[in-house]
Structure 1
Amino acid sequence: MKIIKHISKLYIPVCALLLTSSCADSFLEQPALGALSEDVIANQDGVEKLLIGAYAALDGQGLGGGGAWEAAPDNWVYGTVAGGEASKGSFGGDQPAIDQIVKFISNPSNGYYNTKWKAAYEGVKRANNTLRLLEKATEITVEDRENIAGQARFLRGHYYFELKKMFNMVPWVDETTEDPKQPNNVDIWPNIEADFQFAYENLPATQGEFARANKWAAAAYLGKTYLYQKKFTEAKDVFTDVINLGVNSAGEKYALMDTFKDNFDAAFENNSETVFDIQMVANDGTGSIANANQGGMLNFPYNSPFRCCGFFQPSQDLVNSFKTDPITGKPYVNNYNQNPVKSDMGVTSSEPFTPYTGTLDPRLDWTVGRRGIPYHDWGHHPGAAWIREQTYGGPYAPKKNVYRQATQDQYADQSSWAPGTALNVRVIRFADVLLMAAEAEAQAGSLSLALEYVNRVRNRAANPDGFLKKYLDESDPVAGFDPSQNAANYVIEPYGLVDFATPEMALEKIYFERKLELAMEGHRFFDLVRWGIAQETLNAYFEYQGNITTDVRGGKFIPGKNEYYPIPQAQIDLSVDASGTPTLKQNPGY
């Protein structure tokens, strides 16, 4: 069962972190009218409501003051578009602040950064309030106390992980902090580790509601925290336990879904591949899409059945990555942009077009919408008719985030000017765990085990039951699909020992596999940074993609600066202490 995300109506008169909002001194001296004191709600019901409020902050919606997309929990701007997997899309005059971010020419006054910062610290605040009240609720059993504390610290670890990978040096504020104006001159990785370690040790393996974090989600996040710090031995040990022993919150052993496509269909979510999802729900009775993936409301084909808005267009660079060798079935890791996949760039929808006939990884057509290929069950993607401005954002459309026509009444939400969906945001899924474990093994363990993990992912992608099929009647999509006919020329095979002969060779394949498996899911920029290859990869992307679309021209990644986004200037201004000195320091280069 999903937790329906709502902010608890119970109110604790504790001033919000000055890092996320401001409050008058007088507010601290008297209770708000109609508020309940901490002593009144210091019981299991009160603590649980605060904990639900901490979960509610996961979607980032309504917490940062900016547009819903500015704090989208899938980081489609900061992770996917800035990572070269997609263009911003739409046209240049629409949300131009994103263009500055993805070309690395923005400054600390860009409002997107402040919105993301505030939303994450609101989550921190709610987790801290839960922990603070838990200390006063003395009648709660030890078992329940450990579970509640574990969930609160898991959530706090998640919010700080988001802040750390975005901004690097951020201030640590916890439930014991009296002055929220803390400096950002201390590395908080040990604190994040401690939160996930506590959650791992104290959370149960199963929960009464699927949406709640369990011990194995905490273990996976702990392993990810180690990986980001290059603690490869610690990471591989934790991931080994997650892979061999881990279960989801319903008690189902972690395993890949039989078909790749089912990870992106709301009808199949909360499954064996779910490690931790942010739960979304459509048509919840609120008359809004606040709980229906509102952060992604812009990311549907333009002038289409989805109404709005033409953002989040996969790049040609990403599409080319899915080419495979027709003999070996393996990707062109080092030269994938040679002989690119044919597109309908510059071709109107009324003109004839024949899609690319070369061999492809089948995951392409569950990730990218392209001309002449079925767009789920909505008919063939018509090309330019669904693209707002091809010369700016390219000819492609996103697909992982798009609901099916047959189930739209259940999983789509039309309560706003752009669609909402019941598709969960996947923070960590089991394929991600396998690839992180493969990376850790290649760095500090067994190359054969790394190969095994990667091939589990590739073999699932090679399941023909999951290939996109052609329509039975090409002129009548309503007729359904022909199970004997693939929509494109799909060829994919596993790697062999020769491909993983050295750690360097193995890591090259693992890095590329993450690009293919997790494309458009918000990981790419942060992966490039932690691997230390952001400069070469992104500047090569700007050079290649800039010859195709105008949106990224002028982009340049500067090492020593662009690995992290700037500390929002608004937060530096708010951090001024009694002497007039800001307690927050700006990141280098800004």
Structure 2
Amino acid sequence: MKTFYHIVLGASFTTLLLAGCSKSFLEREPQSSLQEEALTNKKGVNTLLIGAYGALDGQDYQDSDMKNLSGGSGYAVSPDNWIYGSVAGGDAHKGSDPSDAASILQIVTFVANSSNGFFNDKWRVDYEGIRRCNFTLHVLAKVTDMTDAEKQVVAGEARFLRAHYYSDLKKMFDKVPWVDENAANYQKLVVDDYKVPNDKDIWPMIEADFKYAADHLPETQKEVGRANKWAAVAYLAKTLLYQGKFAAAMPLLEDVINSGVTTKGVKFGLMEHFHDNFDAFTENNKEAVFSIQYSANDGSGGTGNANQGQMLNYPYNGPFSCCGFYQPSQDLVNSFRTDDDGLPYLDNFNQHPVKNDMGVPDTIAFTPDNGNLDPRLDWTVGRRGIPFLDWGLHPGMAWVRNQQSAGPYAALKNVYMQVNQDKFYDGNSWAPGNAINYVLIRFADVLLMAAECQANAGSLDKAEAYVNMVRERAANPVGWVKEYIDPDDPMGGNTDEPAANYHVSPYPAGTFAGGGKDFALKAVRFERKLELAMEGHRFFDLVRWGLAQTEITRYFTYERTITSDIATGNFSARNKYYPIPQRQIDLSVKNGASVLKQNPGY
């Protein structure tokens, strides 16, 4: 069951850093609000904590138009960062027509300025999560009917969530203000209390929150969806990794690999089937270190608990109602090409392109590529002539809104299965919702972060071993996409015949050592591109590696020969961080000057 975190906090609290209001308004008691005194008990503080979890997906559960918590479009704040992490990182095109949600195209071609409303939506939604965490901690300090141990667990969960929201902001905007539970009197809020400068590096505070959570959370939780010790340890390690603190991150990641257990008490590991990580029927499995929970058709009414952030990202036409966005790039598809030894082309993959059906109408026969491919391709990308889950062979143009603009492919990891759509598809609004969790950190990510740390430390054989664990799962035919028994009845089962010429192998023993540290790091980074494709990581990985300008410029140069949407794409030094929203700078004026400062170059 995925119910605990979906309870919506009904209280009406003023949102910090989010709106300019008069002091008199802030001192007015809102109608139908909960009195703080009524929450100062075990039940009340746990209700507040559930509200803090409830902000993870950034959506307004009460709104039939599927708005986000800031009032904007739900897809603008999707917690998987499909816009800011994957499309901006070259995994995919915006998709649809160029004029459809043009603000996204501005962002991913790096011409957007600080007035782009998507940035303000993202800022506001993360700070709404932070506000809920802070209020939980503020009330917790006054609770008297809980033991110290119980209080520490609640504080650990609230600080875990707060660190997550701040991590998201830090990756996006870099210069963000830190506001915690001690920042203001919550009974009589004063606007200027929240005009906090963004002149400090907040990584140390994020570290401290995750460290507290790791030290005080139990190894397992009774309810699926709550953070446990190992989720906090993994996230702390990731925080250190983003700062280049590989030596400090490495033992934490080793602990998760060797000692970590899921909420259900099962030791972490890789699922035999890659797609089990993207199927609502098999989620919350041993690979899920921490997931944002979704559900559909759960009796709550409306689209409230379904994944709304991905509502645009289904093939156009066909059995899906919306909307042809998030189309994987040819650059990404080519990355799944393998050589005769089953290994990737790390440097020249675009010189071995995968055949596509650009310009080929669906009424004309098309034979898919018959060269060597990594099977993860067809669990990540929908391409013509290949089984698209259990929906049938992808027909090509019939399911693509505008090939010329954004290419011939479709996103796949976010799509629900036909066989159980009655349980996991939510069609209560104008765009699809589904019950597929977003796995914020999965075990494959942990293995590859550990490989990165080991490679940086010079332990190349150990780095190779971790990468090979991931590749060995991909090499297992049990988890490959298979041909349908009857293409006209895609739910009728599959044969044992692979749907394409899959050929993937682990690196032969000693390959990393023979290639040296630079080769090992290149292999680790490329494996992240393959394994975590279309999961919102790519742009942020490129930035932290110092490769964003080189790689995104290379991507634009290649991909614009295929599609027209990114013809004006241009990445410069300023673009490693997004601009501080102008609306927030305007709201931060104090004594005639803006407290918030803009990022360089904007």
TM-score range, shorter chain: over 0.9
Indicate the residue corresponding to 1:407 in structure 2: 420
Residues 298-318 of structure 1 deviation map (CA, whole Å, 9 limit, x = unaligned): 000001201110000000000
Distance, in Å, in 2 between the alignment partners of 1:131 and 1:477 is 51
Q: 1:31 Cα shift? A: 2.2
Contact 2:57–2:79, Cα closer than 8 Å, also in 1: yes
Matches within 5 A, 1:122-137: 122-137=128-143
* Residue identity matched to 1:127: C
**1:498-523 CA-partner distances (Å, limit 9, x unpaired):** 43121111100000000000000000
Q: Deviations over 1:257-306 (max 9, x none)?
A: 11111111110000100100000001233443232110100000001201
Q: Match for residue 210 of structure 1?
A: 224
- Counterpart check, 1:97 vs 2:117: no
- 1:470 alignment partner, one of 462, 466, 483: 483
Q: Does 1:86 align with 2:92?
A: yes
Aligned match of 1:330? 343
Q: Distance in 1 between matches of 2:34 and 2:177?
A: 30
1:77-226 paired onto structure 2 within 5 Å: 77-178=83-184, 179-226=193-240
* 1:151 alignment partner AA: E
Q: Is the 8 Å Cα contact of residues 12 and 38 (structure 1) preserved in structure 2?
A: no
- Asked whether the 8 Å contact 2:12–2:30 carries over to 1, the reply is no
Counterpart secondary structure, 2:207: helix
Which residue does the alignment assign to 1:517?
531
Deviation at 1:91, TM superposition (A): 0.5
Look up the match of 1:2: 2
Structure 2 counterpart of 1:581: 593
Q: Deviations over 1:425-479 (max 9, x none)?
A: 1110000000001001111252111111111100011111000001123454343
- Which segment is superposed worse, 194-203 or 56-65? 56-65
**Farther-moved stretch of structure 1 (370-379 vs 19-28):** 19-28
1:496 aligned residue: 508
Judge which range, 33-42 or 72-81, deviates more: 33-42
* Structure 1 residues 86 and 310: CA distance shift in structure 2, 3 A: same
* 8 Å contact kept, 1:10–1:49: no
Which residue matches 1:486?
498
- Who is 2:75 aligned against? 69
* 2:41 paired residue number: 43
Q: Equivalents in 1 of 2:484, 2:329: separation in Å?
A: 26
Q: CA deviation at 1:321?
A: 0.3
Q: Does 1:383 align with 2:381?
A: no
- 1:406-445 equivalences in 2 (<5 Å): 406-444=419-457
- 1:505-544 matches, within 5 Å, as 505-544=519-558
Q: CA 1:445–1:48 in 2, change beyond 3 Å: closer, same or farther?
A: farther
Take 2:102 and 2:27, find their aligned partners in 1: how far apart are those partners?
A: 43
**Equivalent residue for 1:277, pick from 291, 296, 299:** 291
- Select 1:292's aligned residue among 292, 306, 315: 306
Instruction: Supply the distance in 2 between the matched residues of 1:267 and 1:284 (Cα, whole angstroms).
Output: 14
Q: Classify 1:10/1:341 alpha carbon distance in 2 versus 1 (closer, same or farther; 3 Å).
A: closer
- Structure 1: give runs of 5+ residues left out of the alignment: none
Cα distance, 1:12–1:87 mapped onto 2, change above 3 Å: closer
What's 2:63 paired with?
Answer: none
**Structure 1 letter corresponding to 2:449:** M
**d(CA) in 2 for partners of 1:10 and 1:537?**
45
The DSSP-based 3-state class of the residue aligned with 1:337 is helix
> 1:216–1:478: structure 2 CA closer, same or farther, 3 Å change rule?
closer
Q: Which string of whole-angstrom CA distances, capped at 9 and with x for unpartnered residues, describes residues 211-238 of structure 1?
A: 0000000000000000000000001011
Given the alignment, which residue of 555, 560, 563 partners 2:576? 563
| 2:15 matches 1:16 | yes
Superposed, which structure 2 residues align to 1:200-279 within 5 Å?
Answer: 200-279=214-293
RMSD: 1.2
Once the two structures are superposed, residues 387-436 of structure 1 have per-residue CA deviations (whole angstroms, 9 ceiling, x without a partner) of 00000010000111101111110111111111100000111000000000
Indicate if the aligned counterparts of 2:11 and 2:32 stay in contact, CA closer than 8 A: no
- Change beyond 3 A, Cα 1:97–1:581: same
Distance in 2 (alpha carbons) for counterparts of 1:109 and 1:354: 46
Aligned-partner Cα distance in 1 for 2:126–2:9: 20
SS at match of 1:538: helix
Contact 2:214 2:233 in 1 (8 A): yes
Residue 319 of structure 1 pairs with residue 318 of structure 2: no
Q: Which of 371, 388, 398 is the equivalent residue of 2:411?
A: 398
Q: Is the 8 A contact 2:419 2:491 kept in 1?
A: no
Output the CA distance in 1 between the equivalents of 2:275 and 2:8. Answer: 35
**Which digits, 9 at most, give the CA deviation of each residue in 1:305-356, with x for residues without a partner?**
0111000000000000000012x10000100001310000000000000000
One-letter code aligned to 2:267? K
Q: Partner residue of 1:56? A: 54
Give the Cα–Cα distance (whole angstroms) in 2 for the partners of residues 258 and 6 of structure 1.
30
Corresponding residue number in structure 2 for 1:343: 356
Deviations 1:87-137 (A, max 9, x none): 000001100001110010010000000000000000000000000000011
Residue 100 of structure 2: SS of its match in structure 1?
Answer: coil
- Paired with 1:9 and 1:352, the residues of 2 have a C-alpha distance of 54
- Contact preservation (8 Å) 1:535, 1:557: yes
Amino acid at match of 2:566: V
Q: In structure 1, what is the Cα distance between the partners aligned to 2:525 and 2:262?
A: 26
Deviation for aligned residue 1:24: 2.7
Tell me how far apart the structure 2 counterparts of residues 549 and 143 of structure 1 sit (CA, whole Å): 57
One-letter identity of the residue aligned with 1:143: A
**Secondary structure of 1:296's partner?**
coil
> Match of 1:87, SS?
strand
- How far residue 9 of structure 1 moved from its aligned partner, in angstroms, is 4.5
* Superposition misfits of 4+ residues, deviation over 6 angstroms: none
SS in 1 for 2:94: strand
Q: Post-superposition shift, 1:23?
A: 3.1
Q: C-alpha distance in 2, partners of 1:476/1:422?
A: 24
1:354 maps to which residue? Answer: 367
TM-score by length of 1: 0.97
**Cα pair 2:9 2:50 within 8 Å, conserved:** no
Read off the aligned partner of 1:353 and give its amino acid letter: F
Distance between the aligned counterparts of 1:521 and 1:201, measured in 2? 29
1:310 aligns with 2:324: yes
The one-letter amino acid of 1:131's match is L
| Gap change, CA 1:317 and 1:406, over 3 Å in 2 | same
Moved more, 61-70 or 357-366: 61-70
Matched residue SS, 1:252: coil
Partners of 1:401 and 1:85 lie apart in 2 by: 14
